[in-house]
Chains A and B, each alone.
Chain A
Amino acid sequence: LIRSINDPEHPLTLEELNVVEQVRVKVNDAESTVAVEFTPTIPHCSMATLIGLSIKVKLIRSLPERFKLDVRITPGTHASEHAVNKQLADKERVAAALENSHLLEVVNQCLSARS
């Protein structure tokens, strides 16, 4: 699902950039949880939050409501890992980000171009 999301900075998809990998995606159907860990291209990647947000939005739109989502950065691959994880885990902040039309535009671009 998330493999075809476009990187905001590159003309490639997240899979091609090895940002998301199959081993780092854990799905538990019985308990209805999905955990995704993604690896930013470089430790200081400023787009990490945006990538995380794109993944999260795509999953929200594509998975049944019963699933609980957990999107986080692969431990030890980003400078401000903790802050980004906190942002992504905060439901209200995600919702607020999606109210922002400019952010939504970028996210939608990531999701639409190659679908």
Chain B
Amino acid sequence: GVKDGSWTVLQLVEALGSCLENTDPRTRGRGIQLLSQVLLQCYSQLQEKEVLHLVLFYENRLQDHHLVIPSVLQGLQALSMCEVLAPGLTVSVLKAIFQEVHVQSLLQLDRHTVYSIITNFMGTREEELKGLGADFTFGFIQVMDGEKDPRNLLVAFQIVHDLIAKNYALGPFVEELFEVTSCYFPIDFTPPPNDPHGIQREDLILSLRAVLASTPQFAEFLLPLLIEKMDSDLQSAKLDSLRTLTACCAIYGQKELQEFLPSLWSSPLTEVFQTASEKVEAECLAALHALSACLSRSVLSSDSEDLLDSFLSSILQDCRHHLCEPDMKLVWPSAKLLQAAAGASLRAYHCVTHSVLPLLLEQYTKHPQSSQRRTILEMLLGFLELQQKWGHVEEDESTLLSLRASVCSVVFSALTDPSVQLQLVGIRALTVLGSLQGFLSPSDLELVVDHLLRLILHEEDSQSSEAAMEAAGSLAPIYPKVFSGRMVPRLEEELQAEREEESSQDHCSLRQRCLQALAAVSTHTSIVRETVPVLLQHLRKVQKGTDAGSAQDLVSVCQSLHRVALQCQQDAEGCWYYHQAVVPCLLAVAVQAAMQESTQPLLGRALLEEEVLAAMVPVISAATTHLSPELAAQSVSHVVPLFLDGEVSFLPQNSFPCSFQPFEDGECLEAQRRLVALLMAFVCSLPRSVAIPQQERLLRELLALSCSCNCPFTATTAAKCFAGLVNKHPAGQQLDEILQLAVDRMEPGLAEGPRRTQALTLLLWVTKALVLRYHPLSSHLTDKLLGLLSDAELGPAAADGFSLLMAESPDVLHKGCHADVRIMFRQRFFTDNVPKLVQGFHGAGPDVKANYLKGLSHVLNHLPKPVLVTELPTLLSLLLEALSCSDRVVQLSTLSCLQPLLLEAPQIMSLHVDTLVTKFLSLTSSPTMAVRIAALRCAHALTSLPLTVLLPYKARVIRALAKPLDDKKRLVRKEAVAARGEWFLLGSPGR
């Protein structure tokens, strides 16, 4: 009644009168409980006067019998949420609570009520509480002293944090407040199993840390505690104190830290030197970093000594001598400590490097062994990398600048060292030096380029020449002039030099390196303009040559071009330049080669080989995908007529002996038809907004070509091109007509005749195009595909087609070339078709069952793992059946599907452990190497299942795995050793 206003609270009180004044405390308690419940529900409607009376009443009741208190507190909690509470009442309520109630003798729930009363007041009546001064703090300290329940502690910590953060007067009670909270540090709490409150140890740790690190006033008490706990034997205590220290450093100044610095420093030192745990080490370093940052933040007063200086010098003193012994264990910890301290601020950095860098350089010359030199150089590199953090080298005080000559000479000597490891470090150091603006002088820079060139071209170890290329690539955008002026011409020279005296093997690999290097340095637009003509010229030259290895050469030119294309995609201008330079040239070269063939059969054929064309596809595609729509439209108006009408005028050197008509019939035009691959690369990579001229005609021609051509390469490419266009074609009548036409041509082709495979290819690609864009016709086509699984001739190919449908295709129909790909198309395909596959499997004859399993395992293989894990229970039995299927492709794909599942869903898998173990072990003696390897990997992955499930099988597995140890193939033996070793370790100590 009170809620809707028909009763006032006072009436209720009167009605309850007898009950509230009853002499039996139980009855009184029930009365008050009822009243409190009512208040909790409708505290927002109370009038100020009512509140006043109620408050007085409740305060009175606090002195009552202990049975009554819980209800009284609930009532007060309701009142504390009242907005109309008169000023002054807050204070009196709190005083009453502090005085009358001994909070820690109450039950957990009631203590929680008290805390929430306080929290409510702190939220709404901050001013009044502050008026209480330190008394409030003291009262609260008494309230929370001895609290044990984690739920209440969380609230209490929050209150303390607010107390400090909102500047309540702490008065003389700082130490008490600290005592009452710090006694919980470090927190050691394990939530009971099935805890409904979900309080984690981490929550408590974090909230306590927030309290402890909230004010510098705690420093004098907290720091000794932290120092003590850092030396604790418990790793968790160590970690917690180090993290708290890191948090504290964010607000402390040097005044707080001063007194404790020596001991604060000594415990991380011993930890880092001795610890085996990476976690502790990382925390130590973080704490040191924070300390040093904190010290360097404080402003120097002229009379006090610079704490940072003395702190750093003590670190240096402890670490320096370790740096001189690069063979010993303590080198790296020392270097890490110094780097952590130096990384905190520029001033600290100067201070540390001032003493360390000369030392390291000196040590480098003292130690002649390359392994020692490597260690020293790696440390040096660490310091140089820190310098990067502050960007440019400051002219006046940098120690680095004064050491420039010796640093450079050290790095260069590393580059000429015969040890590959040292070279690699040297190259990394060089990259860092180069990225420091203004550090390298022009003459040094030329030396750098020369060194890189030498490494790229003449270093025997491929690892370091690759690293050198990478370094060249990252330095080139910073110094484009030096690289394009010095490196590119040299590479060009090398490329063109015909060396008769050398064996062709060497020459070939040298050319390869040149090409790769040219691609690698093309990371800046101005360099791209230099390198692309060089590459294209080389392409033409190779194409004219007649030697047998030229196909391989062409492929590597294309790979280099592709890399350049990827590197200049982001930059619109560079991209357009590249497109204009490369695409017509490639087309011209290809067209020319195709024409020549009709007259002179052998010359220039290399360019038309499948692998070369396949290598050109990504080049054109990468050059096209990032074009802006207008530029792309301009270029499409040249390329499409070239293929449809033989319009060759835009190609450079366009004097050809005969006309270019790839879509015409005729025996001698086979070569020209292959160039459809280039057309595909171009039109399928265009942005969707670009309209393709004569699209209908193009589609019809492609369709005809894909169904009628005898050459599988051409037919497949035409089908892909068709699919790529269909995927982007806007929906509507036109699209439906085209698709109808395609279906009409496909169906008779599939039914019978010599070109069934071509029809299947077309079906697969068109299905993929439609599945990707959720086109309604796609389900019809997939049904057709499912039907083909039972076909004796095409069944296996159709099953393999499922992998094509689900996998990402490298050249067309993916996101990168603007295809219409809906998210989750795989999941959708899965839910639509897997039931049909399973059904088909059960209904199929024994000879074609394998096809269904194959299709299924292809689909599963490409499905995102989280989806698969949820579907697993239903599919697992089928998968296990697939393992006993004799087709090795099925076995292989099932195994590769199961292996990640073993790692990710051990719980489900462990139900079937018996079958799994048996199947895997029998497959380890399969005649196919790949299956044996996969089975051994699965056996290895089995060890991630729960130990108790596995132990019964341990002896059996170890015995069975002894056999593959003696396998003929090395790779199998390797997997067997890994798997067996892991099974040996199962359940034995020291793991």
Chain A: residues with CB nearer than 8 A to chain B? 1, 10-11, 58, 61-66, 101-102, 104-109, 111-112, 115
Contact = CB atoms under 8 A, between A and B. Distances in A.
B329 interface: yes
A106 B965 CA distance: 25
A112 B329 contact: no
B196 interface: no
B988 A104 contact: yes
Given A63-B965, A65-B962, A106-B990, A111 B329 contact: no
Contacts of B962: 64-65
A111 B991 CA distance: 9
Interface of B: 276, 329, 962-963, 965-966, 977-978, 980-982, 984-985, 988-991
B329 A10 contact: yes
Contacts of A108: 985, 988-991
A60 B565 CA distance: 53
A112 B329 CA distance: 21
A111 B965 contact: no
The residue in B329, B977, B981, B982 that gathers the most chain A C-beta atoms within 10 A of its C-beta is B981
A34 B965 CA distance: 15
A111 B988 contact: no
8 contacts: A10-B329, A11-B329, A62-B981, A63-B965, A108-B985, A112-B985, A112-B991, A115-B981
A100 B495 CA distance: 66
Nearest to A101: B989
Contacts of B988: 104-105, 108
Nearest to A9: B329
Contacts of B990: 104-109, 112
Nearest to B371: A16
A110 to B, nearest CB: 9
B374 to A, nearest CB: 12
A105 B989 contact: yes
A65 to B, nearest CB: 6
B980 A61 contact: yes
A66 B966 CA distance: 9
B272 to A, nearest CB: 13
A64 B959 CA distance: 11
A112 B965 CA distance: 19
Contact of B981 (A65, A102, A111): A111
A11 B977 CA distance: 23
A62 B977 contact: yes
A70 B853 CA distance: 49
Contacts of A63: 965
Main SS of the interface on chain A?
A: helix
B965 A62 contact: yes
A62 B329 contact: no
Enumerate the 5 nearest inter-chain pairs by beta-carbon distance, A residue then B residue, closest first: A105-B990, A64-B966, A108-B990, A105-B989, A62-B977
A78 to B, nearest CB: 20
A62 B980 contact: yes
The residue in B981, B988, B990 that gathers the most chain A C-beta atoms within 10 A of its C-beta is B990
Contacts of A58: 981
B978 A115 contact: yes
Contacts of A111: 981, 985
A64 B981 contact: no
The residue in A1, A62, A66, A106 that gathers the most chain B C-beta atoms within 10 A of its C-beta is A62
A22 B978 CA distance: 21
Contacts of A106: 990
Nearest to B980: A61
Contacts of B978: 115
Nearest to B965: A64
Given A105-B990, A109-B990, A115-B982, 11 more contacts: A10-B329, A58-B981, A62-B980, A63-B965, A64-B966, A66-B966, A104-B989, A104-B990, A107-B990, A115-B978, A115-B981
Contacts of A107: 990
A1 B965 CA distance: 12
B966 A61 contact: no
Nearest to B276: A11
Contacts of A104: 988-990
A54 B915 CA distance: 34
Nearest to B962: A65
A1 B966 contact: no
A106 B977 CA distance: 20
A62 B979 CA distance: 10
A105 B988 CA distance: 7
A66 to B, nearest CB: 7
A61 B981 contact: yes
Contacts of A109: 990
A63 B973 CA distance: 9
A36 to B, nearest CB: 16
A1 to B, nearest CB: 7
Given A11-B329, A63-B965, A1 B989 contact: no
Contacts of B989: 101-102, 104-105, 108
A105 to B, nearest CB: 3
A107 B991 CA distance: 10
B310 to A, nearest CB: 32
Contacts of B991: 108, 112
Nearest to A66: B966
Nearest to A32: B966
Contacts of B329: 10-11
The residue in A61, A104, A112 that gathers the most chain B C-beta atoms within 10 A of its C-beta is A61
Contact of A1 (B276, B963, B977, B982): B977
Nearest to B984: A61
A106 B988 CA distance: 11
A39 to B, nearest CB: 16
A60 B981 CA distance: 10
Contacts of A1: 977
Nearest to B976: A62
Nearest to B332: A11
A58 B276 CA distance: 24
A10 B966 CA distance: 32
A16 to B, nearest CB: 9
Nearest to A12: B329
Contacts of A64: 962-963, 965-966
A62 to B, nearest CB: 4
B987 to A, nearest CB: 11
Contacts of A105: 988-990
A106 B989 CA distance: 8
A102 B276 CA distance: 19
A111 B990 CA distance: 10
A102 B736 CA distance: 75
Contacts of B981: 58, 61-62, 111, 115
B732 to A, nearest CB: 60
A66 B276 CA distance: 39
A11 B963 CA distance: 33
B534 to A, nearest CB: 43
